[in-house]
Amino acid sequence: MKAVRFHAHGGPEVLRYQDAPDPVPGAGDAVVRVRACALNHLDLWQRRGMERVRISFPHISGADVAGEVISTPNGEFGAGCRVMLQPGLSCGHCAACLDGCDNECPDYDVLGHRSDGGYAEIVKVPVQNLIAIPDAIGLVEAAAFPLAFLTAWHMLITRAKLRAGEDVLVLGAGSGVGQAAIQIAGRHGARVIATAGTNEKLVKARQLGACHLINHTTEDLPARVREFTHGRGVDVVFEHVGTATWDRSLKSLTRGGRLVTCGATTGHEAGLDLRVLFVRQISLLGSYMGRKAELLRAVRFFFAGDLRPIVDRTFPLAEAAAAHRRLEAREQFGKIVLVC
């Protein structure tokens, strides 16, 4: 098969489109013909190298995959069945998995993180990670859905326990997880304030349902939030940017507000005045990926047309390096997808 692999950490130039061995399925594995694979920031961090994380070389990234079944262990899915993949990998038998909290499994992994992923013509995954998709759903859109919408769903609905009528501040509306959060919050009756670094992205955030917009590169974020909420602040901050926005995110919360975070794309160092935390009774919530059951709930909205992943651009698999450069430059609104 053809695949995009890297043999050492570095810039986009280390990505090589080359021949690679077909994956060999183990017991319980399905084999899928990849038609589309969406990019995530995890792909960039892997390629550059992450502190305390070792991966084997050569490596194939890619967590968000859609395609057609080649084979399954017991014929659970027929050959040619159109599927999207649940990106989370778990053991299936520990206490967390048996309790339905598979993203808390001690062996939890993400497809393409320590395993080979979807930057290839063929991928193998546990058969339980297959989700059949209707004929009306495009494979590019299906690849753009799982990780971003699962992450945003877990953050807002499970961790922050978002309620109808609440105000939500969504940082980085142009990101995959940002555009997912705007839609999920809106569908659950919340009022969304969205931020982005360009006016073009803000216009698109408005089209997704954001009620108020803030350019976080030119405007005073907490002051604008107070203006939009009549001095109150927001109930929930959807944070995934990290160091660059952390302090402003905290200042945007109302008393008793919740900040939920899943990432640190601008750095992981953040300060905190504990007096602010306890006097204002703020809750800080960490969130990582999500549960398969949550993804299955979210896809019902997707299949019904109530949630839709925004695809920024597609690139041929062979042009993965160019796709990485676009994501690194933060030029995208929504998901960048490789197609085979």
Instruction: Return the pLDDT at 74.
Output: 85
In angstroms, rounded to a whole number, what is the distance separating the alpha carbons of residues 296 and 278? 36
- The mean-pLDDT minimum among 179-188, 230-239, 240-249, 280-289 falls in 240-249
- The mean-pLDDT minimum among 92-101, 197-206, 238-247, 256-265 falls in 238-247
Q: In what order do the strands lie in the sheet with 167-170?
A: 212-215, 191-196, 167-170, 234-239, 253-261, 283-286
Q: What is the mean pLDDT of residues 77-101?
A: 95
Distant-in-sequence, close-in-space partners of 286: CB < 8 Å, separation ≥ 6: 159, 260, 261, 262
**Cα radius of gyration rounded to whole Å, the chain:** 20
As its CATH architecture, domain 149-286 has Alpha-Beta Complex (3.90)
The mean predicted confidence, pLDDT, of the chain is 94
Tell me the residue type at 333: F
Instruction: Return the pLDDT at 50.
Output: 86
Which H helix or E strand runs over 186? helix 176-187
Dihedral, 69, 19, 8, 339 alpha carbons, nearest 10: -50
Share of the chain above pLDDT 70, in %: 100
Indicate the burial class of 322 (C-beta count within 10 angstroms; 0-12, 13-18, 19 or more): middle
Note whether 2-145+309-339 and 149-286 share their fold: yes
Q: Does 3.90.180.10 match the CATH number of domain 2-145+309-339? A: yes
- The encoded tokens of residue 57 equal 């070389």
In angstroms, rounded to a whole number, what is the distance separating the alpha carbons of residues 59 and 43? 11
In angstroms, rounded to a whole number, what is the distance separating the alpha carbons of residues 309 and 155? 17
Delimit the domains of the chain by residue range.
2-145+309-339, 149-286
3-class secondary structure, 249: helix
Instruction: State whether the Cα torsion 103-180-198-225 is positive or negative.
Output: negative
pLDDT in tens, 278-317: 888 999 999 999 999 999 999 999 999 999 999 999 999 9
CA-based nearest residue to 108, from 139, 66, 74, 63: 63
Tell me the residue type at 214: I
CA-based nearest residue to 246, from 269, 228, 275: 269
DSSP result, 194-218: EEESSHHHHHHHHHHT-SEEEETTT
pLDDT band at 244 (very low <50, low <70, confident <90, very high): confident
The answer on pLDDT for 266 being more than 90 is no
